[in-house]
């Protein structure tokens, strides 16, 4: 189990990536499990945890200022998370992982969802024989909507462009974490074959999505 880190002040840029060898998601441990029927629906943060207005403001496609994600939902694969936690680096330079199966985490050195650049949210495929929040991430179809609700009351909608799987030994750091022209999202989990010797999966699954609109609720 890893220790969650406080939010770093700096953000990754193409220059910053030069100092990062491989930013894989490690630590998806435990043998593969069969999820129970029906969507995964962990509890959602109380309304008091979000800054909301009485009436929604008009939709916009403009980038937003920084604000951390509060929770997210992906109806296409039955995901509705609880509170999103902060993730940083592990000592070996890999991406830190959430401490339980159902929690998703935001990599704090990536942009916030809605800012220009690739916001990174990670979660387990399974953990200690419990299906993870991103257990079905590899099934996510192109065009599916991912909605990230932020603590400042803005909700950011992304549509999925593609889902790819990479060996952890050949993880494309620049492709996943490199700068983008507009606000984008990366959802990351483990996948592929489960290596019982190491207790981990050999691959990472990455969903790429682009922002289509923001709504202030």
Averaged pLDDT score across all residues of the chain: 81
Which of 30-39, 64-73, 107-116, 176-185 is the least confident region? Answer: 30-39
Q: How far apart are CA 98 and CA 12, in angstroms?
A: 20
pLDDT value, residue 49? 40
Mean pLDDT value of segment 99-125: 97
Best CA proximity match to 154, nearest among 61, 46, 42: 61
Q: Examine the pLDDT at 142 and tell me if it is beyond 70.
A: yes
* Tens-place pLDDT, residues 34-74: 444 444 444 444 433 444 444 445 567 899 999 999 999 99
Task: For residue 65, count CB atoms less than 10 angstroms from its CB and return exposed for 0-12, middle for 13-18, buried for 19 or more.
Answer: exposed
Residue 57 is predicted with a pLDDT of 58
What pLDDT, in 10s, does the model give residues 4-18? 333 333 455 443 444
Distances (CA, A) of 126 to 39, 63, 169: 15, 33, 20
What's the pLDDT at 27?
59
CATH number for the segment(s) 69-216: 2.40.260.10
Q: How many Cβ atoms sit within 10 Å of the Cβ of residue 197?
A: 5
Q: Would the pTM of this model clear 0.85, i.e. be above it? A: no
- Separation between Cα atoms, residue 64 and residue 183, nearest integer Å: 9
| pLDDT band with cut points at 50, 70 and 90 for residue 198 | confident
**Where is pLDDT greater, at 204 or 13?**
204
């Amino acid at each position: 189990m890893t220790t969650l880190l406080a939010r770093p002040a700096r953000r990754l840029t193409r220059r910053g990536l030069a100092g990062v060898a491989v930013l894989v998601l490690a630590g998806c441990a435990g043998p593969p499990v069969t999820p129970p029927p029906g969507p995964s629906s962990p509890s959602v943060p109380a309304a008091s945890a979000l800054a909301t207005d009485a009436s929604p403001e008009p939709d916009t496609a403009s980038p937003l200022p920084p604000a951390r994600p509060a929770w997210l939902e992906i109806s296409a694969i039955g995901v509705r998370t609880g509170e999103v936690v902060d993730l940083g680096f592990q000592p070996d330079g890999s991406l830190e992982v959430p401490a339980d199966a159902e929690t998703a985490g935001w990599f704090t050195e990536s942009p916030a969802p809605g800012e220009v650049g690739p916001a990174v949210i990670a979660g387990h495929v399974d953990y200690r024989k419990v299906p993870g929040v991103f257990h079905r991430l590899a099934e996510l179809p192109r065009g599916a909507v991912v909605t990230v609700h932020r603590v400042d009351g803005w909700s950011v909608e992304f549509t999925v462009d593609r889902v790819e799987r990479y060996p952890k030994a050949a993880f494309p750091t620049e492709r996943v974490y490199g700068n983008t022209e507009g606000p984008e999202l990366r959802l990351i989990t483990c996948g592929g074959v489960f290596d019982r010797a190491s207790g981990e999966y050999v691959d990472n699954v990455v969903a790429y999505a682009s922002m289509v609109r923001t709504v202030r609720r």
